[in-house]
Amino acid sequence: MMVHRAAVLGTLALLVAQQPITAQDLDVAPLRQCNSPKAEYAPTYDVMTSSIIFTSEQSGVAALYRARLDESTGIDRVVGTFNSPRHQRGCVSLDSSGNGVGVVYAPYDDQMYAGLTTVTRQGADVNLGRAIATLNGPMYVSQPALSPDGLRLAFVSTRDGGRGGLDLWVCERRDDLTWSEPVNFGRNVNSDADEITPFFASSDTLYFASNGFGGKGGFDVMMSVLRDGIWHEPIPVDGVNSEYDDSDCIVLRNGSMIFASTRPGGQGGLDLWIAQQRTGQ
């Protein structure tokens, strides 16, 4: 996910200003070239092709697709070994180099569980790497988010030690390229309900969705900032939130936000939407 520092700071300024960004400040519209009557979610920016990669279930199984936001020519199924014609593929998160982490399903004790795997690249191809065995197991481990520099990894899990339900966890890349033991984000970020779909706008700026901090209804997009080693209490990103489920928010290099929502106006179920600053604001 390539995010320019200036764009991140500009977005943060909007979010923490005395008059926070609201829906009245934004043009919010569905990404019609991406959406179908099935579910679309988990967008990530691919610096290698200047495009958005996202997950869609339009073929009957979850698979990766690509869209270029400056074109209206539709979408293409992502080429490479990550996609499989017969198996569900959860999603991928790409860092500013184009490499990343993805989600596949593997058996544990005769039951299938979501788990994390490395993702390798050959040009535009997105290829299946190796399972990250130290993070996976007989539990839900999914929805990865790499920081732009690739040194920090957040994900969603039901592993022991959480606050209940789905929690956000984080680990750091070691010098030997392995991942440290995951640490729960703590009570400032994780509620007694569910936290999902993390995204790092920078190493110290986290977006995610929660249904445990109040808000407008369903899942709401939240933002937390790391200061002095502590992830601070999140604030709602009200410009993209609604009384429906809103999640999967990413920030593009120009400050626009792409997110998933079940609000009316899409093609059905979970659809991708884009929020852009209104001209003249």
Closest CA to 272 of 38, 15, 20: 38
pLDDT over threshold 60, residue 14: no
What does the pLDDT look like over 81-95, one tens digit per residue? 999 887 777 899 999
Calculate ∠ Cα 228-234-238, nearest 5°: 140
Position 261 scores a pLDDT of 98
Per-residue buried b or exposed e for 44-79, using 16+ beta carbons within 10 Å of the residue's own CB:
bbbbebebbbbbbbbeeebbbbbbbbeeeeebeebe
Q: Which domains does the chain have, with CATH numbers?
A: 5-17+44-263 (2.120.10.30)
- Cα–Cα distance measured from residue 12 to residue 76, given in angstroms and rounded to the nearest whole number: 32
pLDDT tens for each residue of 218-269: 999 999 999 999 999 999 998 999 999 999 999 998 899 999 999 999 998 8
Helix and strand counts by DSSP (H, E) for the chain: 1, 21
Strand 235-236 and strand 271-277: the pairing is unpaired
Handedness of CA 130, 66, 31, 94 (dihedral sign): positive
pLDDT tens digits, 39-91: 999 999 999 999 999 999 998 889 999 999 876 678 999 999 999 887 777 89
Distance CA 12, CA 3 (A): 13
| Token pair 């009316």 in the structure block, residue | 264
Q: Supply 45's token pair.
A: 């920016």
What is the predicted pLDDT for the residue at 3? 39
Residue 7 has pLDDT above 50, yes or no: no
Q: Write the pLDDT tens digit of every residue in 156-197.
A: 999 999 888 899 999 999 999 999 999 999 999 999 999 999
Name the residue among 196, 198, 170 with its Cα closest to residue 185.
Answer: 170
pLDDT at 136: 94
Torsion sign over Cα 160, 163, 167, 169: negative
